[in-house]
Amino acid sequence: MKLVDALHRVPVLGRLLHHRFVKFGVVGATGTVVNVAILYAAQEALFVAIEPPSLRLNVSLALAISVATINNFLLNRAWTWLDRRPHVSTPLLMQFGQYAIACWLGIVLQFALTNVFARHVHYVIANVAAIVVASVANFVVNDQWTFGRLRMLLHRWRQRRESSHHKQR
């Protein structure tokens, strides 16, 4: 048995190694580029007059995270979870609301960790490290809730249960 096969059988890790997570990672990488570019532009040009520097960092982070969240939602909807769209009838704005709520944990983690890490390293490095930590939580919540895995599994379970009841009769 290959190591990769064994890793795929580990419940949580196996899900993370799934093809969809790779797509999520690619989207996340584009979101990271958007996030860092907006953060840098806001810190160094757009909000340079805001004092103290900690307030400027938080305002810049808010803008960077907002733009990156919209970017990631649209790309994830169009690519990562495209196959689920027929199963999820949630209107676009409501689904974005779900996505934003699901990302809340990651956003809080990113804010907190960026501020903690920025005390020790450059704010851009701190922000990238915080994004990496928050990404796994975002994937799991969005996979299960926003893009309908729970609804799909529940639907399949109900179908199997109804099928087995009909066979027993």
Percent share of the chain, pLDDT over 90: 41
Residue predicted with more confidence, 134 or 166: 134
pLDDT at 41: 97
User: Which of the four pLDDT bands, split at 50, 70 and 90, describes residue 6?
Assistant: low
pLDDT tens digits for 22-37? 888 889 899 999 999 9
Distance CA(89)–CA(119), nearest Å, equals: 44
pTM of the model: 0.67
At CB < 8 A and 24+ separation, what contacts does 104-109 make? 105/134, 105/137, 105/138, 105/141, 106/134, 106/135, 106/137, 106/138, 107/65, 107/69, 107/134, 109/133, 109/134, 109/137
Domain boundaries, position 113: 3-168
> What mean pLDDT do residues 149-153 have?
68
Range among 12-16, 73-77, 161-165 rated most confident: 73-77
Report the Cα–Cα distance between both ends of the chain, in Å, rounded: 43
Report which of 123, 120, 134, 133 is spatially closest to residue 38, judged by C-alpha positions.
Answer: 123
> What mean pLDDT do residues 47-64 have?
94
Domain count, the chain: 1
Q: Collect all residues with Cβ–Cβ distance below 8 Å to 32 and sequence separation of at least 6.
A: 68, 128, 131
User: Which of the four pLDDT bands, split at 50, 70 and 90, describes residue 85?
Assistant: confident
pLDDT at 84: 80
When mean pLDDT is compared across 58-67, 113-122, 132-141, the lowest value belongs to 132-141
